[in-house]
Structure 1
Amino acid sequence: MFDAIKLGRRAFLAGAVTSGAVALSSRYAFAAAEKSADAVGIWGPPVGPSIALAHLTESSAIQDAAPGSVFRVWRTPDQMRAGVASGDMEITIVPTYTGANLFNRGLPVKMANVMTWGLLYMMSTDKAVTSLSDIGGKTIVMPFRNDMPDLVFRHILGANGMSADKDVNILYTATPLEAVQYLLAGRVDTAILPEPLATASILKGLGASIAVNRVLSLQDEWGRATGRAPFIPQAGAVVSDGLLARKPDFVTTFNAQAARSTDWVNNNPASAGRLAQDYLEIAGPVIEKSIPYSNLRVVSAADARADLEFFFETLAQQSPDIIGGKLPADAFYLSL
């Protein structure tokens, strides 16, 4: 019965636990207002770190330092790249390797921090799948060929004596949502999904009497494959050179408040879900239940540099272009 699923992204995520659209709150209307001259343009995609940014922009620390600053969500990579290039996105959450790529291509950005240490999970409707050893011969649905999740998964398979080209069949989709739809429609029984869609797939499955299981964390498997800690420095905040020139002290304030807001999100997931749902246009309970799996922790880019460079080098072994062909220079990593 799921072959006919044609849900848009907003409808799918809202419908994961509720019926009808999520009502827009006054704070969402405020976030759409024109920012003042003192304000900073703070952006992020609809994923875990942006939950913290929703809280951050409402804090007195940020409003005192940059009155009128608001948080907005970017929806596509093209929108993000255009916003960074124009300078409108003075601070934005991006995948860390995207930040490296932008820097290496000459865009005026620096990495401020890492805010999430991995959002990737293997999900399955097959109860027999409980580990990597159970996926031999299976079709695994994966969003985005040759993007980071694909490269990480291939590295993990190789470290476990498996080949992504011989031992499994990877079916690529154009979006993560499409991968969820394949899973719930029964076209495949196993998928690699990011949060919060991994959690959304579980909740949407419950509503259709489909048991979607969280089989394993790719963060844990990455740690086992590399001999390092079980975390992936997946996404963080980049800041524009224009902001660093215009408000040189603001980025330090931002980083400190990002850490406080992230702690608040981790300790108050239900409240965080209610706060962020209108910003991200994702149902609050989905956000709440995804937070424990979002590995939210703020580390300055300078302090995370060793982890970032190992991550970049590992990705570049398979696809040098993903980071723009080389490791970023020293100036990329801000010390805050």
Structure 2
Amino acid sequence: MPARSTLSRRALIGGLAAAPLLTLARGAGAKPAADLTIYAAPMTASILLARLVDSGALGAALPGASFQLWHDPDELRAAVVSKRALLFTTPTPVPANLFNRGLPVKLLAVLGTGHLTIVTSDPKIKTLADLAGKPVLGFFHHDMPDLVFRAAVKMEGFDPDKDFKLSYVGMPMEAAQMLAAGRVETAILSEPPATGAIMMAGQQGRKLYRAINLQDIWIKHTGHPIPMIGLGVHEQLLTQTPEILPLLRTGLPQAKDWVLANPQAAGELAEKVMGLHAPIVAASIAHSAIEVKSAKAARPELEAFYKTLIALSPKALDGHLPDASFYLDL
């Protein structure tokens, strides 16, 4: 195994934020490239798709597929609208919003059930009550991570705008770097940026703590986890390449098992394919709540999640739930 490399600011920001377009290894005898790009969220759950393509499990349907990270939800939305993204890992509200606005996209599976953590340098902060009145840095203002935080604190009886001093940056990697450098005390972070911030701060002699897992609050009040990360698909791909569905049905659970059983190898794969920093990804897997569940089976949890978001922001999901055809059976 390669020696653990030092985590620099460049490693965190460059490694996590980079969006290389990398053609994945093809199995022997593969047909010419199908010229399909899988658009991946910069999140640990995306390694499942990287594993499927890198191992050749999707080769019969997607020979020569390539992989590209998207940086923010608007970039992903533009790629889906333009049909550059036919298969993509995504926050689950994104395809629901596009579907409700008339685009032929569906949700195939839930791949992650909560990966947002409040990370802080203050060891006294263990509950939202401890955080009241203090500054909190967030990202993607008015989008899913912000809405999940707002929903969770409201579940606990707090007003997000009155009880916390909220500020925002554009990207989770930027928030992670600011926290690691000591420029802010507390931030809401996704994975793998939360793990990256903790590791980089440690190399600078600073200690950061995973103070509050928003997933725990959600389960406490709803009885189920947050169906946060999903696999979206454009109908054009399903029509042109219907054999992709049985390959994903078989391959995704196997990929999940491999990632959970081989975190170091999964980190190395994420670095090779996604441009993420291997040690950060390997350490983040235990905190990423990776799951594989068909969208149809997860529909009750998804609808509860969507209703919560719509209540917070009436414009979310175009103001209504998707109909049954949106939820595919993996």
TM-score normalized by the length of structure 1: 0.87
- 2:73/2:94 contact within 8 Å kept: no
Alpha-carbon distance in structure 1 between the residues aligned to 2:122 and 2:45: 30
Deviation at 1:255, TM superposition (A): 3.2
Alpha-carbon distance in structure 1 between the residues aligned to 2:61 and 2:177: 43
Aligned partner letter, 1:57: V
1:123 is paired with a residue whose SS is strand
Deviation at 1:120, TM superposition (A): 0.3
Say yes or no: does 1:41 pair with 2:37.
Answer: yes
Alpha-carbon distance in structure 1 between the residues aligned to 2:78 and 2:32: 21
Identity of aligned residues (%): 38
Alpha-carbon distance in structure 1 between the residues aligned to 2:52 and 2:113: 19
Say yes or no: does 1:83 pair with 2:79.
Answer: yes
- Structure 2: gaps (5+ residues): 1-7
Tell me which residue corresponds to 1:271: 265
Deviation at 1:83, TM superposition (A): 2.3
- 2:42/2:70 contact within 8 Å kept: yes
* RMSD of Structure 2 on Structure 1 (CA): 2.4
TM-score normalized by the length of structure 2: 0.89
Of 237, 240, 252, which aligns to 1:243?
A: 237
Aligned partner letter, 1:137: G
Deviation at 1:159, TM superposition (A): 2.2
Deviation at 1:39, TM superposition (A): 5.9
Deviation at 1:279, TM superposition (A): 1.8
Say yes or no: does 1:329 pair with 2:330.
Answer: no
- 1:141/1:170 contact within 8 Å kept: yes
Tell me which residue corresponds to 1:318: 312
- 2:89/2:231 contact within 8 Å kept: yes
**What are the Cα deviations for residues 11-57 of structure 1, in whole angstroms up to 9, with x where unaligned?**
53649xxxxx9xx9xx945479xx94646432212211211111110
Alpha-carbon distance in structure 1 between the residues aligned to 2:262 and 2:202: 24
Q: Within 5 Å, which residues of 2 pair with 1:195-206?
A: 195-206=191-202
Residues 179 and 38 of structure 1: CA distance in aligned 2, closer, same or farther (over 3 Å) = closer
Say yes or no: does 1:255 pair with 2:256.
Answer: no
1:106 is paired with a residue whose SS is coil
- Structure 1: gaps (5+ residues): 1-5, 16-20
Alpha-carbon distance in structure 1 between the residues aligned to 2:13 and 2:65: 30
Tell me which residue corresponds to 2:174: 178
- 1:265/1:272 contact within 8 Å kept: yes
Say yes or no: does 1:304 pair with 2:298.
Answer: yes
1:152 is paired with a residue whose SS is helix
Aligned partner letter, 1:134: D
- 1:101/1:323 contact within 8 Å kept: yes
2:319 is paired with a residue whose SS is coil
Alpha-carbon distance in structure 2 between the residues aligned to 1:75 and 1:175: 8
Tell me which residue corresponds to 1:3: none
Residues 243 and 305 of structure 1: CA distance in aligned 2, closer, same or farther (over 3 Å) = same
Tell me which residue corresponds to 1:12: 13
1:88 is paired with a residue whose SS is coil
Alpha-carbon distance in structure 2 between the residues aligned to 1:239 and 1:253: 14
Tell me which residue corresponds to 1:114: 110
Number of matched residues?
317
